[in-house]
Every structure is written in C-alpha cells, then in structure tokens.
Amino acid sequence: MNTHGSGAGWAVLDVPLTATARTIRCEARAFARREIEPRAAEIDAAGRFPDDLWPKLGQAGLLGLTVAPEYGGAGLGYLEHLVVMEEISRASTALGFSYLVHSHACVNQIALYGTQEQKRRLLPGLVNGSQVGGLAMTEPDAGSDVLGGMRTVAEPAGDGFRLSGRKAWIANAPRADVLVVYARTDPDLGSKGISAFVVNTRRPGVTLGPARASLGMRGCQVGDIAFDGCHLGTDDLLGGLNQGAAVLMEGLARERLVATGGALGLLQACLDVTLPYCCLREQFGKPIASFQLVQAKLADMLADLNASRSYAYAMAAVHGNGQGHSFDSTALLLFVAERASAAARQAVQLMGAAGFDAESTPSRLYRDASLFTLGFGTSEIRRIVVGRGLLSASQARHH
C-alpha cells in the first residue's frame, strides 16, 4: 500500500495527486520541516510571524503559486496551492493562516481581477516576499452579514475616490503593505453597489492598528484598520466599479478550497504528535496505545484524515476542471474544519495533562483549530450557503 510518507513510520493513505502537485508537496514539506516546524512553538509564544520567513517563502517560490510567470509566479493551480497550504499548516497552523491570506486572499485576487498595470505594479513584491498582503472585508458591525452591514465607503473625489471607514479582525493587517479592501461605492444599490480596491497601506489616511491578543493562530497577527479620507485612484479599483460583491463571493469560494489545506495540515499534525506519544507513554505497566479506548481515538483521527484528504484533493481537481457547484468548496471546508476541531480536542485528551500544558503542541493545535470553524464564514453560515445552494440547484433541475 502506498503511504503519504508522513515521516512518522506509519501508514496514511496516499491519495493520488498529479506529478506537479506531488513535486511541489515534497518541496513545501522539506521547506516547512527545515524552516517552520522548529520555530512553531516560538511563533505561537511570541504571537508574531518571523519577518525573515516571508522572503524565504518567496525565494522558495511558494507565495505566488497561482500567479503567471510573467509576474514572478509559478503559474500553477488550486490543487498545488492546497497541498502547499497543508504542508505549511502541518508545521505551523498560524503561519499557514498568514500564508493563506497573503498568497490567496490578496495575491490570487489581484492575479485574477487585476489589470495588467496593477499586476505589474503589485505582484512582483508580494510574490518575492518583500511585501505582505491581506484582505479587508469584515467590519465591527459587518461579520457574517458582511455585504449587508458594510459601512466603509469610497466616495467619488476628483479623479478617484475618498475611502473612509473601519475594518476589523484583518489577518496580517498590522504589518501589511498591500490590502484588498471592500467598500460601498453606491450606497443606493445595496450589495450591487460595493467595489474592491487595492490599497497601499503607506498612503495618507490609512492607520493600521496593533495586533490583537487572540485565542489561537497567534503567529498570524490580526488587527483593525482605519481609513480616514484616504485618496484612491481609479487605477486602484479591482475588478471594476460596483463589481465587489462578485469579486468577494467568488474569492471566498476559492479561498475556502485552499483554506481546507490548513485544516488538513492541522489534522495531520494531531496524528503526528499523538501517535508517538501514545506509544511511549506508559500507564498500568503498558503503553497507553495498547488500550482499545485510546486506539479508538487514533482510529477516528486516521479515518477523518484520510476522508478529508481524499475529499479535498478530489474537490481541487474538479474545481481545476471548472466543474462542480459554487457551494462545493464551502461544504468541503465545513466538513474538514469540524473534523480538524474534533481531532484537536482528542489530541489534548490523548495526552492528558501533558496536552493541557499551555506550551504543548496539542494545546496550540486546539486553540488554532477554532479559527477554522469561524473564519471564511462560520460553520453555521457554511451550512446555510450549502443548504441554499442545494435547494436552488434542485429547483433549477426541475424547471
């Protein structure tokens, strides 16, 4: 039987991958083991992403996977992006989250919707790691109802726009150079009057708040942003005037696919840490792994990991072929995020007090896991999106 080559000496199903995805996975795994894993605990304790890792990720060719080579990228697809996200997150989920927001929510959105001028201006620095990117949609009063509750406005001013408002809980924001920002450009049109912009955070009128103290994902700095009459040109519009809702929703659907790699990496990390521990830790004169109730938890973790990985790679392949429904990636993240959260809970349980130690790996994984059922739309909102999508697909078939 083929194994995933976990490096821990035990068999994990080797879900078939394309040769390109397999190669990039090997490269990303080697990079993550060498550069990230040894620093994962330190990244969590410091609550800070080490600045030297960003250019290293760029040099390794991992920051612009879906960007065309003419802008410095690798010209690959979402399957490759997903497996790289998985390997980075397996080493440090917080760093993986920072990576996702930069390489997908910011870089991929610019690669998809940017004009040639925007791509030439913005992508090389983001792809080589000299700049950090983020995406700002959430506001203090606009969370799950992000379009309906949005108050940030970009009013016409001279030859461009004047951006005013507040964004909240934005990953990478305290150190971001470039942000994709959503704002109302025609308040009378509701969600059809929203536009996306690319904003250089050095502009006058942009204030980046400090990093918030968070439950988990501590190495990924998250903060608020204030825009006070920041001037933007028409060349900062991303995807056209009043096209923001489509840009945001299509972006979220793809982001949920790649974000699944983060939950997968976390699931794998749970097994990486608990299996060797259960084999070594002895109680009642035997390794705890010899007790069937312990084996049951490990078996559930392995089954969840194999099911999640098979589902994710199949979905990425389908997505790459342009097939499937827009809500498919939402269903995928819904499933894998909840399996990852369950595995993290069991990782703490399996290691007892050693897992409860604040500096232990299970404790970090448990805290980080809660983001996967909250960010990119909560589990509740994902169920609503999938339920509604199923209903309308079924109604469309019967008409």
Ligand X SMILES: Cc1cc2nc3c(=O)[nH]c(=O)nc-3n(C[C@H](O)[C@H](O)[C@H](O)COP(=O)(O)OP(=O)(O)OC[C@H]3O[C@@H](n4cnc5c(N)ncnc54)[C@H](O)[C@@H]3O)c2cc1C
Q: Residue 392 has which token pair? A: 């309308």
Residue facing ligand X at closest CB distance = 143
Q: Does 28 bind ligand X (CB under 6 A)?
A: no
Nearer to ligand X, 64 or 377 (CB): 377
Measured in whole angstroms, the distance separating CA 285 from the mean position of its chain's CA atoms is 43
170 binds ligand X (CB under 6 A): yes
Residues 119-138 binding ligand X (CB under 6 A) are 134-138
Nearer to ligand X, 105 or 289 (CB): 105
| Closer to ligand X by Cβ: residue 61 or 261 | 261
Tell the smallest beta-carbon distance from residue 10 to ligand X (Å).
32
- Residue 312 interacting with ligand X (CB under 6 A): no
Of positions 113, 169, 327, 335, contacts ligand X by CB under 6 A? 169
Q: Tokens in use for 204?
A: 């006058």
Binds ligand X by CB under 6 A, chosen from 94, 375, 385, 386: 375
d(CA 293, CA 296): 5
Cβ contacts of 380 within 8 Å, gap of 6 or more:
144
CB of 60 or CB of 381, closer to ligand X: 381
Which residues 45-104 are close enough to bind ligand X by CB under 6 A? 101
Q: Which is nearer to ligand X, 98 or 346 (CB)?
A: 98
Nearer to ligand X, 318 or 374 (CB): 374
- Tell whether residue 380 is a contact of ligand X (CB under 6 A): yes
**Least CB distance to ligand X at residue 374 (A):** 5
According to the binding rule CB under 6 A, does residue 336 interact with ligand X?
A: no
Cα–Cα distance, 39 to 164 (Å, whole number):
38
In whole angstroms, the minimum distance from the beta carbon of 222 to ligand X comes to: 5
Distance of closest approach, residue 150 Cβ to ligand X, in angstroms: 10
Alpha-carbon distance of 104 to 115, in angstroms, equals 17
Task: Provide the 10 A C-beta neighbour count for residue 173.
Answer: 26
User: Is 255 assigned a catalytic role?
Assistant: yes
Minimum distance of ligand X from residue 196's CB (angstroms):
12
Q: Which residue is catalytic, options 80, 255, 282, 359?
A: 255
Among 8, 318, 342, 381, binds ligand X (CB under 6 A): 381
- Residue 219 near ligand X by CB under 6 A: no
Q: In whole angstroms, give the CA distance from residue 104 to residue 78.
A: 10
Taking the complex as a whole, the smallest distance from the CB of residue 101 to ligand X amounts, in Å, to: 5
Give every CB contact of residue 3 below 8 A, 6+ residues apart in sequence: 10, 11, 12, 13, 14
Does residue 178 bind ligand X (CB under 6 A)? no
Position 214 contacts ligand X (CB under 6 A) = yes
- CB count within 10 Å of CB 187 equals 12
> Hey, which residues between 98 and 117 contact ligand X (CB under 6 A)?
101
Q: Which residues bind ligand X (CB under 6 A)?
A: 101, 134-138, 143-144, 169-171, 214, 217, 222, 371, 374-375, 377-378, 380-381
Q: What residues are labeled active site?
A: 255
